[in-house]
Chain A
Amino acid sequence: MADDKDVLRDVWFGRIPTCFTLNQDEVTEREAEPYYLLLPRVSYLTLVTDKVKKHFLKVMRAEDVEEMWFEYEGTPLKWHYPIGVLFDLHASNNVLPWSITVHFKNFPDHDLLHCPSNSVIEAHFMSSIKEADALKHKSQVVNDMQKKDHKQLWMGLQNDKFDQFWAMNRKLMEYPTEDGGFRYIPFRIYQTMSDRPFIQKLFRPVSPEGSAHSLGDLLKEMYPDAITNDGEQKRYQVVIHGIEPLLETPLQWLSEHLSHPDNFLHICVIPLTHQPAG
């Protein structure tokens, strides 16, 4: 008799065991030990890697250090995506711990945003929440909040305080019962092999006929290839928070329970590599 509340907790406390190694090309005074850390799936790389930075700075000369950035198997990791999304998208089918390479020079300006301080992350996080609320409630809820309420959301994420965060975030998850859900579902669909960063369109939780839309309904409209038709071999995994919900799962429920703290439902569509059919 599990409770839906437990889902929120599981989502929040999701951790990815990660091994940080310093890029071979960095100049060091002595050999850098790898650094092991449990990263919160719902947080951002640059927000939770102070310890990593400190660890590697110990073996480096100050003049060799520029802005820190991360790379996995040749792909620079965008800090402004939630950590869980990066992992699911790039590394989910590989062995754990997740092995991330740390760089201190040659910042890939065309791939990554700069992140000089936590206030940049905060600005990004808050703008996501506002965008999501614009979709859900025409911004009414977020605009009714006070400055300190916004701060509470951010501090909750930054300090990994589930209770603090959800005490405020639950307001963002409310909707009038007669509507049957939010106005639009804030979602983003990520794919590995695409030039587009992600798919984001307007999509309602309830069909004009009044029936609840499911995850499958969303994908059918946004990304039909992701759906396995009868008789076909499964080509894509649809992953949210490292799990594959059934396509009949109601979208509204997903948005309430499996959204990231930024209030978006981040969906990763990952191609399956099949053995060529013999």
Chain B
Amino acid sequence: MPVSLLWAVDVYGRVYSLSTAGQQWEQCRDAQMEFKRVTAAQQCCWGIACDNNIYLNVHASDLPVRYQEETYENQRWNPVDGFSERLLPSDRWQWSDVTGLQHQPLDSFQLPSSSWEWEGDWYVDENFEGEPTEKGGWSYAIDFPATYTKDKKWNSCVRRRRWLRYRRYKAMDTWAKIPSQQTTLPDPFSDISCGGWEISEEPRGRLSLWAVSLQGKVWFRDGIYHHNPEGSLWEEVFLPGEVIQISCGPGDLVWAVLWEGQLIVREGISRDCPKGSSWAVVESPSPDVGAIHVAVGINVVWAVTKDNKVWFRRGVNSHNPCGSGWIGMVGEMITINVGLNDQVWAINCEDRAVYFRQGVTSSELSGKTWKAITVPRDGDRSHSSFSFLSTLDSAGCYFCGEVRAQSVVSDAESDTEKGSADGESIPGEGEVKAPCAGSALSPSQSGGPLDPQWSNVDLEEAQQAQTVAVQDTADTCSLSSVATYTLAMEDPYGADEHPLWAWVSGGGCSVDSHSQLNWFNFSMNTLVSSVQSMSLSVSPAQTAAWRRQIFEQLSERTKREMDNFRHYEQAVEQSVWVKKGTMQWWRDWKPHKWIDVHFALEQFSGPDGNKDGILFIYYNYYEEKKYLHAFINEVTILVPVLNDSKHTFAIYTPERTKQRWPIRLAAATELEMHDWLALLSVSCCDSRGIHGPPSKQAIWSITCKGDIFISEPSPGLEAMPYPTPCDQMFWRQVGGHLRVVECNSVGIVWGIGYDHTAWVHTGGYGGGFFQGLASSTDNIYTQTDVKSVYIYENQRWNPVTGYTNRYCTLLRLEFTKRVVSDWAIDYSVSGGTDREGWQFAADFPASYHGYKTMKDFVRRRRWARKCKLTTTGPWQEIPPIPLSDVTILPCTAQSSVDVIPVWAISNKGDVLCRLGVTALTPAGSSWLHVGTDQPFKSISIGAASQVWAIARDGSAFYRGSVSARSPAGDCWYHIPSPAKQKLKQVSVGRTSVYTVDENGNLWYRQGVTPSYPQGSSWEHISNNVRKVSVGPLDQVWIIADKVQGSHSLSCGTVCHRLGVQPVEPKGQSWDYGIGGGWDHITVRGNSVEPPRLRLPSLTDPSSRSPVPVRNTEVNGVGN
């Protein structure tokens, strides 16, 4: 779980945040003034300060916020000057936007606010549709507006080029004022709420921000997204009444409270209209007492009425934003807030503590109990001056206007407003207990002027008063607050034993009911002891000298006492041990079907002391009892298989890999299958003498199910001319669930989940269904992953049925455990969609496009649902940036490189360089952003620090001057892709550069030399390739589609390039290994040079591709 923050404001206007990993509230010290309210998202926090301006605090990230400004320079040819800026009167401006309609000279671009700075000066974009122009970036056309080409032709009369300049948002981790609009708003803001980030993923980081003014008007901030965090302008939203407070959830729920106590619900919020269209009214939960506060999440609405009662709204969801009825809840609160995962926070009206609602789950959204967060603030223990001040305060009685809170509208701002608008009514609701002189605070009781701006005036007074009273205002800043909180007499202000909170926002706080939090039952002792236990567990005990000494001496002892005596007889003979069970087997003969079989594993001690065993499958063949057997020491892999109705796994031997026909078995329950898999895995590992964690040289691979397998490379794996056949490689599973894994030969292994979370290997083994001794203990952690399940809706057929693709049926079984979202339309389908997610085509099945034409008679759209998987494995999360690709410098084994270059691509296409990665700290420390003009999708770094990357448009880039001193290099060199092909993935070994394009072709980069690392051209090697991994020996491994075996055909097969030598880096032919159903492989850890024999090559010199087969429906591991 990445660390995230809960935000809160105390009654003095000080802003604090509490980390999910922390145990104390940290004051936000850079806040120059007091705040009334804050509202948080994960990437930022908005607040209203006491000057009534809105401030934004964007959390610093390794990913900078940069905005690309562009403008086009247009020229026309004339016989006198050639191409020049002299344009025809009917032409566009000499400087314009892409359409030509907008006049945009370079100097017309201004920074939007003082929070921005220019990264550099304007420059010409040399790329044109994925190709370098090398002509000053000009592209040519017959006339404006027309189709442009990069080459000048005889009839090219006009030309244009694109200029780029980046500006960077610099006000990170600080409160920056949102510039007020030209037309100043009529009155100051009193409430603010952000959310809506789940409405749409595009544009990235989009937020809805709703604000309420003192006069009860509602405003919507338009244009907030990642590259424009401040948004662009305020739009007024028309209302049926005067609003006092508003709440916006992460999805499409927006509720507000009216002055009269009813609630209004925004309707019509959608991807295309985040502002919504209309309001619906919902009555207050209690007929007599109006609501004063509302908080919404994704599927929940909570409200507080003026008598501080808490209410939960039943039946709320995206289709029915109004819900169906109110349920009264226990507890008396003044405010309530719903954060991520529909978790609920509230401030109690009695002790003013922040409470967390425990037990809120998707099945029980109202939770179970309130629990107080009892951690102290960072200043509580160290600032003795503060407590001194407190005593002073109570003695001097600076405070006044203490009001019984019970019956008062205790929300700070609505109070203020009442105070100003209707000062006389206050004593009626809340009795003034102790008015006293020197009233520095509490404007509502001091009978402030009716001017709506009064709070400002009062605040200045307050600050003055405080400056007089206390020397050290910066450190304590206790008195000046605009919030006219109400306070019960039971809580004398001076004591300040615990913080008094006014506002809380959990919109950025990623916790759920399973989170382990240290926020409750806090005491000094627990802190001390937890620190102690921390230091015990995270101390470098693993690398302590005594431990090393024991490991070393034990292995010396083995050498001394056992290595020369292996031929001696063992004193204790091992007996045979049998485990039996029943299973189903996918029978070998046609028609293929599942039949019941008896299954037995016999284990015994092999001749060399290793355990060995035989597997028996007893079946009936036409009333005749028969059996099939496999020697455990011949089993090369046990693979859990995706199946929509059974719990199945496959057993391969070298022979069965050649056949592409494994032994397929199905167990009755998942638990039974895991038991068998764990037992068989241990048995296979024992028979081969493999124990413990993977070696640094290990080859890692991932199946389409997300299961992770490792193989220890034999010394002869890359030998010439007789390498170990790769169907003999033994694979064992490690716990976890990943989409991508990359490693290098010093043992650094990174993975990326389906949800783009980055993970680093802890060096352990086991996890998942491996229990007890087959798993290491001290470095196995919980891992979660989220996969999307898709289903297509076809227009003429029944909705939400019809086609399902392969992954869909396969995944449903596995992920049913925790479905975390409802079905939603998926707009990110290739080919594009229209506003409702539909794709159009002439007929089923066909290629679809995202707009309707005359010829289209059918349409479809894709629905997606997210499912969450929780497992365990030797992986630790590397928050916070989600990744789509990663690469680690493939060191040779003897390399003493200290800091190891790791590059990655974020899921939004940013290129990142990881700093501080060493063998001891494989997770590294922070990201360095490397600027690009377009998003990227694949990256690879070679042994000599040569970095290659593939952009989303399918073109390749080479990064110049990457070295230990300059880990991010200096600039990108654009490399044209092979003719008419869009590249998809790249892998760089010692010197070789290989790419795969979107049509499954494998390309080798010709002419790469140390002096000319970009190379000269692409040479086609093979087709039907899905992925390539080039290792530190320049060995080439791929995942190939459509490999024909003697019994069947497999897709997603591990293949090894044979005949690769320094003089012949392209190799000669393929050797076929495990598959199908494989998605990913990395051989970048294997740097053991094989003994190279100089023999005449005996392998077939003709290049063989994986067999091209026309059959389009090919079964992977899946079916």
B628 contacts A by Cβ under 8 Å: no
A163: nearest chain-B partner, CB-CB: B773
Kindly list chain A residues whose C-beta atoms are within 8 Å of the C-beta of B560.
Answer: 96
Kindly list chain A residues whose C-beta atoms are within 8 Å of the C-beta of B764.
Answer: 1, 3
B545 contacts A by Cβ under 8 Å: yes
Bound-complex Cα distance A23 to B780 (A): 54
A residues 1-31 touching B (CB-CB < 8 Å):
1-7, 9-11, 14-17
A37 touches B557 (CB 8 A): no
B535 to chain A, nearest CB (A): 12
Bound-complex Cα distance A2 to B691 (A): 10
B568 touches A245 (CB 8 A): no
Given contacts A96-B565, A242-B557, whether A160 and B574 have CB atoms under 8 Å apart is: yes
Kindly list chain A residues whose C-beta atoms are within 8 Å of the C-beta of B557.
Answer: 10, 14, 241-243
B558 touches A10 (CB 8 A): yes
B550 touches A7 (CB 8 A): yes
B900 to chain A, nearest CB (A): 16
B692 touches A17 (CB 8 A): no
Given contacts A178-B529, A241-B557, A243-B557, whether A38 and B550 have CB atoms under 8 Å apart is: no
A residues 69-124 touching B (CB-CB < 8 Å):
96-97
B692 touches A167 (CB 8 A): no
Number of A-B contacts (CB under 8 A): 119
B747 touches A1 (CB 8 A): yes
A51 touches B571 (CB 8 A): yes
Interface size class of B (residues with CB under 8 A): 35 or more
Chain A interface mostly helix, strand, loop or mixed? mixed
A243 touches B568 (CB 8 A): no
Bound-complex Cα distance A10 to B568 (A): 18
B529 touches A37 (CB 8 A): no
Pick the residue among A2, A36, A242, A257 that contacts B568 (CB under 8 A): A36
B561: nearest chain-A partner, CB-CB: A16
B213 to chain A, nearest CB (A): 55
A166 touches B549 (CB 8 A): no
Query: Which of B545, B571, B772, B777 has the most C-beta atoms of chain A within 10 angstroms of its own C-beta?
Result: B571
A5 to chain B, nearest CB (A): 6
Given contacts A7-B554, A244-B553, A245-B549, whether A38 and B562 have CB atoms under 8 Å apart is: yes
Bound-complex Cα distance A14 to B559 (A): 11
A37 touches B550 (CB 8 A): no
Query: Which of B556, B562, B564, B572 has the most C-beta atoms of chain A within 10 angstroms of its own C-beta?
Result: B572
Pick the residue among A160, A210, A250, A258 that contacts B572 (CB under 8 A): A160
A249 touches B565 (CB 8 A): no
Bound-complex Cα distance A176 to B553 (A): 30
Given contacts A10-B554, A243-B554, whether A3 and B571 have CB atoms under 8 Å apart is: no
Bound-complex Cα distance A250 to B550 (A): 12
Pick the residue among A159, A242, A246 that contacts B575 (CB under 8 A): A159
Bound-complex Cα distance A189 to B707 (A): 49
Bound-complex Cα distance A248 to B809 (A): 57
Given contacts A7-B550, A178-B529, whether A48 and B571 have CB atoms under 8 Å apart is: yes
B763 contacts A by Cβ under 8 Å: yes
A107 to chain B, nearest CB (A): 22
A49 contacts B by Cβ under 8 Å: yes
Given contacts A159-B574, A241-B557, A243-B557, whether A38 and B565 have CB atoms under 8 Å apart is: yes
Mask, A170-186, CB within 8 Å of B = 1, is: 00000001100000000
B553 touches A48 (CB 8 A): no
Kindly list chain B residues whose C-beta atoms are within 8 Å of the C-beta of A245.
Answer: 546, 549-550, 553
B569 contacts A by Cβ under 8 Å: yes
Kindly list chain A residues whose C-beta atoms are within 8 Å of the C-beta of B765.
Answer: 3
Kindly list chain A residues whose C-beta atoms are within 8 Å of the C-beta of B569.
Answer: 36-38, 51
Mask, B765-785, CB within 8 Å of A = 1, is: 100000011001110000000
Kindly list chain B residues whose C-beta atoms are within 8 Å of the C-beta of A48.
Answer: 571-572
Kindly list chain B residues whose C-beta atoms are within 8 Å of the C-beta of A258.
Answer: 550
Bound-complex Cα distance A177 to B537 (A): 11
Given contacts A166-B773, A244-B553, whether A17 and B568 have CB atoms under 8 Å apart is: yes
Bound-complex Cα distance A97 to B568 (A): 10
B551 contacts A by Cβ under 8 Å: yes
Bound-complex Cα distance A85 to B692 (A): 27
Bound-complex Cα distance A38 to B532 (A): 45
A7 touches B551 (CB 8 A): yes
A157 to chain B, nearest CB (A): 9
Query: Which of A5, A9, A39, A244 has the most C-beta atoms of chain B within 10 angstroms of its own C-beta?
Result: A5
B895 contacts A by Cβ under 8 Å: no
B765: nearest chain-A partner, CB-CB: A3
Kindly list chain B residues whose C-beta atoms are within 8 Å of the C-beta of A255.
Answer: none
Given contacts A14-B561, A243-B557, whether A2 and B571 have CB atoms under 8 Å apart is: no
Kindly list chain A residues whose C-beta atoms are within 8 Å of the C-beta of B549.
Answer: 245-246, 249
B residues 664-692 touching A (CB-CB < 8 Å):
682, 691-692
B533 contacts A by Cβ under 8 Å: yes
Kindly list chain A residues whose C-beta atoms are within 8 Å of the C-beta of B315.
Answer: none
B550 touches A17 (CB 8 A): no
Pick the residue among B529, B570, B772, B776 that contacts A38 (CB under 8 A): B570
B268 contacts A by Cβ under 8 Å: no
B693 contacts A by Cβ under 8 Å: yes
A residues 238-265 touching B (CB-CB < 8 Å):
241-246, 248-250, 257-258
B537: nearest chain-A partner, CB-CB: A177
A92 to chain B, nearest CB (A): 10
Kindly list chain A residues whose C-beta atoms are within 8 Å of the C-beta of B550.
Answer: 7, 243, 245, 249, 257-258
A106 to chain B, nearest CB (A): 25
Given contacts A4-B778, A7-B550, whether A17 and B571 have CB atoms under 8 Å apart is: no
B691 touches A9 (CB 8 A): yes
A40 touches B554 (CB 8 A): no
Query: Which of A48, A241, A246 has the most C-beta atoms of chain B within 10 angstroms of its own C-beta?
Result: A246
B772: nearest chain-A partner, CB-CB: A167
Kindly list chain A residues whose C-beta atoms are within 8 Å of the C-beta of B776.
Answer: 3, 5
A residues 198-223 touching B (CB-CB < 8 Å):
210
B545 touches A246 (CB 8 A): yes
A38 touches B568 (CB 8 A): yes
A43 contacts B by Cβ under 8 Å: yes
B554 touches A4 (CB 8 A): no
A170 to chain B, nearest CB (A): 8
Bound-complex Cα distance A242 to B532 (A): 34
B residues 382-426 touching A (CB-CB < 8 Å):
none
Kindly list chain B residues whose C-beta atoms are within 8 Å of the C-beta of A7.
Answer: 550-551, 554
Bound-complex Cα distance A49 to B689 (A): 26
A4 touches B571 (CB 8 A): no
Kindly list chain A residues whose C-beta atoms are within 8 Å of the C-beta of B545.
Answer: 246, 248
B880 to chain A, nearest CB (A): 26
Given contacts A37-B571, A48-B572, whether A5 and B777 have CB atoms under 8 Å apart is: yes
Kindly list chain A residues whose C-beta atoms are within 8 Å of the C-beta of B773.
Answer: 5, 162-163, 166-167
Bound-complex Cα distance A163 to B682 (A): 11
A260 to chain B, nearest CB (A): 15
B999 to chain A, nearest CB (A): 41
B693 touches A3 (CB 8 A): yes
B747 touches A248 (CB 8 A): no
Bound-complex Cα distance A250 to B549 (A): 13
A38: nearest chain-B partner, CB-CB: B568
Kindly list chain B residues whose C-beta atoms are within 8 Å of the C-beta of A158.
Answer: 572
Kindly list chain A residues whose C-beta atoms are within 8 Å of the C-beta of B564.
Answer: 17, 96
A47 to chain B, nearest CB (A): 8
B555: nearest chain-A partner, CB-CB: A10
B529 touches A17 (CB 8 A): no
- Residues in chain B within 8 A of chain A (CB atoms): 529, 532-533, 542, 545-547, 549-551, 553-558, 560-562, 564-565, 568-572, 574-575, 682, 691-693, 747, 763-765, 772-773, 776-778
- Residues in chain A within 8 A of chain B (CB atoms): 1-7, 9-11, 14-17, 36-40, 43, 48-49, 51, 96-97, 158-160, 162-163, 166-167, 177-178, 210, 241-246, 248-250, 257-258
12 A-B pairs with CB atoms under 8 Å apart are A1-B542, A10-B558, A14-B562, A17-B561, A17-B564, A43-B571, A48-B572, A49-B571, A96-B561, A97-B565, A245-B550, A249-B546
A-B interface, 7 closest residue pairs, ranked by CB to CB distance from nearest? A17-B565, A1-B763, A243-B553, A48-B571, A160-B572, A249-B546, A246-B546
